[in-house]
Amino acid sequence: MSRKPVHLAVYDTFADWETGHTAGYLARAGYDIRTVGPTREPVTTIGGLRIQPDLALDEIHPEDSSLLILTGGDLWDTGDDLAPFARTARAFLDAGVPVAAICGATAGLAREGLLDDRDHTSAVSFYLAATGYGGGERYVEADAVTDGNLITAGPTEPVAFAREVFGLLGVYEGEVLDAWYRLFHDSDAEAYAVLAKAQQ
The catalytic site residues sit at: 103
The full DSSP string for 35-94 is EEESSSS-EE-TTS-EE--SEEGGG--GGG-SEEEE--BGGGGSSSTTHHHHHHHHHHHH
**Spatial contact of 168 and 177, defined as CB atoms under 8 Å apart:** no
Give every CB contact of residue 104 below 8 A, 6+ residues apart in sequence.
15, 72, 73, 74, 75, 76, 77, 155
